[in-house]
Amino acid sequence: MKLGRLNHVAIAVPDLAKATETYRDTLGGAVTEPQALPEHGVTVVFVDLGNTKVELLEPLGEGSPIAAFLEKNPAGGMHHVCYEVDDILAARDRLKTGGARVLGDGEPKIGAHGKPVLFLHPKDFCGTLVELEQS
């Protein structure tokens, strides 16, 4: 497995409309329209930075994994980083063989960019939740 480019840094926010306004109006970012991802329990927007993106995400529905994060961090904060990999299944298998924990059932789900994604346990990666996305 070879780690690819940084696809995005995700920031959990309690109010997506307010965060979008901050990134668009205060910082001058190019922000996408909100996209609901019920299978991931979030609504997201992306801020295009040219060389990478910032993902702003808020809870969607009951049991959203972001809701628990925001209970501990009511103002929001960095939630995860996403790296691209050429072959997500090969990356998963290599990581699992090396002892890394893949979250969920271990099978990729389709992410916001329409590509397969997996999440890796933060305790295995310096306290940071890692998302892998098929490039």
Q: What is the DSSP letter of 71?
A: H
Q: CA end-to-end span of the chain, whole Å?
A: 13
Token pair listed for 31: 């922000």
Q: Which two tokens stand for residue 3?
A: 């780690």
Active site members? 131
Report the DSSP pairing between strands 6-12 and 77-85: antiparallel
Q: Are 84 and 95 in contact (CB under 8 A)?
A: no
Nearest one of 85, 82, 87 to 120, comparing CA atoms: 82
